[in-house]
Structure formats: structure tokens, C-alpha cells
Chain A
Amino acid sequence: MDFGSILNALILGVSIASIWLIAALGLTIIYGAAGVINMAHGELIMLGAYSSYMLQYYLGVPYLLCIPASFVIVALVGLILERGLIQYLYNRPLDTLLATYGVSLVLMQGVRLIFGSDPKYLAVPEIFSSNLSLGFLSISTFRVIVLLVTALLVLALWLLFYKTRFGVQVRAVMQNKEMAASFGINSSRVYMLTFALGAGLAGVAGSLFGVLNIVLPTMGASYVVQAFLMVVVGGGSLAGSVVASGVTGEMQSVFAFFTNDTFARFLIFVLIVVFLRFRPQGLFAKAGTRR
């Protein structure tokens, strides 16, 4: 085995990490800020892919514009979901779990009723369906796009949470909702906006996954498990999810390089279970009251 192949595996690891991370970002925000375990996260990803498909197929919107548009559309869905359902369930984690699971079924079957269960197709500019190569190194252009979008979103989220007034409010509510409320922060509004933000991020992930993968009503299910793992291992914070995705993505790629894909997954899940046995609160757990 030569040096080039290992380097390629490491680069691929970064790309796999970015895919795992972007799937987990929305869930991290919603779980971290509002403490809601959103079982419908996979279906929000699926809605993002279908939004892009709709915009492209019916309105002829170019693909790159579909990405932010999917953010807006799915964020609106998230907003409606939060106002219509989740806001009544904030202090009942088990009920939110069941309710969001129900929502996921409704969304999946609803999309199936409207679009049918046959797979859909997202067209991208020709330049994205090729690769960049430099000597023995090679990576697909679209993987670079996913990586860039993920990096951009992480930066934007960091700025939002640590450099704006809204971010301070969110962090205050995360630490202690009642105390924050007594300082005049409208916690209900903060929850609503963070939920919409998290949903919108899932929408962005969906419009990217529609290109890597296939647009189907059931596509969300394959991403939601790994997204949950990243959030749990990361401890629900943004930095935690970034580190967790980075490490597991690299492990996935390197293990698969030395053995095979199936064994790599097996090893990762075993390691995660062992890790959670010794650190159930995740990598970077926030001090503060949990609801």
C-alpha cells in the first residue's frame, strides 16, 4: 500500500465527516437548544431534497439556488411544526419523541401520496459530476461542495451563537429557561426560531444528499441514525458534533481502507457504544440545568 492511497483515504475521511456533520447539524441545534429529540429529522432532510426537486423540475431554478431555497422552505415547515405541535410538548420528552415520530410518518406518506414512491432525480451542473485531481490525489467536485457548505454553515452557526444578541439569548435559555425568562427573554420565541433554524439546516442537507444519493420518500431514514449518533457522542453542542463527525468520518474511511465497508461500520458502532459506556454525557456536555 502506498502513501498516495492512504492520503486519499484521509481526504475521503474528511468528506465523509462533512456528510455526517451536515446531516447532524440541524438535529444538534434542536436537541442542544430546545432539548427536543426530533425523530422527524430524517424526513426534514427528505423534504429538503424534494423541495430542491420541485423547484428544479417545476420552476427551473438552477441547482445552486435550490440549496438556500430548500433552507427557507424546510425552515417554514419547521416553524409550522413547532407552533402547531412541539410548543405544547416542551416539558414532556417522551411525548415529543412519539409526536415527532408520528410527524415523520405523516411527512413520509404525505410525500409518497403527492410524488409517488418512484425515485426522483436532481440535475446538477456538468462541472459537479466530475472530480478534482492533483497527482495521485483525487476527490469528486461535489464532495468538495458539500465540505464547503458544511464549513460555511458551521462558521455561520458559531457566529450566530457567540457573536449576536440572539445567540446570547439562545445560550441563556439553554442554561436556564426560567432565569432567562425573568431577565425578559421570550423563551417561546427562542425555541420557535431555533427549531425553524434546525429544520432549515436539515433542508440544506437534503438538497445536497439528493445529488449524492437518490430522492425517495424513505431516504431520510438512512441518515437519521448516524445524525443521532453524532449528536449523542458530541453531547449536543456544536463543537461536540463537529469533533464527533470528524473522528467517526475519518475512522469510517481508514477502517474501510484497511478492511472493508461492513467491518468499518461494525467497528465504529462498537467503539461508540464503548465510548458512551464511559462517557454517557458525550464529548462536550454543557454544564447547566437540563429540562
Chain B
Amino acid sequence: MRVAAMMAAMCAATVLAAPAGRAAERSVDPLGSPRWADMERSLLSGEAYVFDPRVKVEAPDLAENPMHVPVTVDATALPDVKEVVVFADFNPILEILRFHPDATSAYLGFRVKLQQSSPLRAAARTADGVWHVGGTLVNTAGGGCTAPSIGSTSTEWQKRLNEVTARSWNDGPMSGRVRLRIIHPMDTGLIAGIPAFHLEALTLRDEAGTPLMRLEISQPVSENPVFTLYRGKRDGVLQAAGRDNNGNTFDVRIAP
């Protein structure tokens, strides 16, 4: 499976090599967003990039609930991904999250709050320093970033803040998949009287403490985040540790 993916990636890279030389062609945003120049400057710091269909961003064309828009980022067709940043051009807070797949696949599923219809993009930085940008358009009624969290209107969550539930799948078609959910209101700070209060870091390590994936999480990730990722075929306990912007921490072990 991995070999096949790598071969596919190599083939795709060969095909892309010719047009990649022409700068003008590269910089035309396939999603036609008037915000792209700003995105490039603020999210990619003006570094080299290429629009690349090998970075797949899956999300519904029409998202029913702007508070919970499902996003799946799959950059596994690219070799040696160091970092992936996910962002939405028309959100008041652009960056959604950033992940470093140190020893996992460059794959992450989660849910996001959208303030209005927007391109939803992922840029994957490969070892050569080039950002590969993929994305999709999501239509939504909006308001996702300026609606209060369920958590902010009740006190129930306080007792369970940073509580983690998780499960791993070890055989069958989902082999190697891990899903984890963390209880957190993920308040954006854009509502009067409700300060920003959100998870900002999550690291997954193997039993020996070696990092498998590091996540930097921003406000637009949905309340009570659920992450889906692949840990690969490694056996053994998985460690998940993290903290929010108020210094509350968690550190748990997920049995295989």
C-alpha cells in the first residue's frame, strides 16, 4: 500500500515537473479566491509553493452545520511531508491548525467552524521546503466562528475539561487508525464577553516517548475536537498529551 502510494507520488511528481518551471502557471489559484495573495503572504510567509492536486482536502460542498464542518486532509501522495497547515481564506481567524507528521501518515481528519462560505485549504511542506497547496470550496450559511460554544452556555464541561476518549483500530480496513476526542469549548474570542479559550497543542508519542505527530491547534477547530489519524502499524500504547491556552494540560495513554 505504502509502496503503491509512493510510486503514484513519484509518477505525479514527474508529470508536474514540466509546468512547475513556469511560475505564472503555478501561481494561478485553482479556487479563484481574491484572498489568495494574502493567504500566501500570511500563511506561507511568501515561501515557494505550488498548487498540487496530490494534497487532497475533503469537505462537503454544502455544509449543513457551520459549527462542525468535517475536513479530511490527505497529503499521503506526497513524499516526506514535514508540516501541514490548514486554513480558510474567509474565516476571521485564518489558521485552523498545523500538524507535523513526524512518524505518521500526512493524514488528519477533524471538524472546523466556518464564518462564511470559503475555500478550505491545506498546504503541505516537503523536505525541499516547497509548500504543496490543495483545497476545496465549502458553501455554508455561516456564523460558525461568532456563535457561542455549547460549553460557554453551561458549566457541565468544566468538570470534564480536557477529558480524552479515544479508540484505535488494529485490523480490517481501518487498521492503524486512531480517533480521539477531547472535551474543550474551543471559544474563538470573537464573541463579546467570552474570551478565547482553546486547545493549542497536542502531541502523540509511541511507548518510548518518540513523537509520532505534533499538532498546533487554533480557535477555528470545532468544540470538543475529534481527530482521525493513522499511527501506522506500530503496536503498543500511544501517548497523547496536550494543553490549552490557559495552561490546562492532559496526558493519557491509549491502549491498542
Partners in one complex: no
Binding site for A on B (CB under 8 A): none
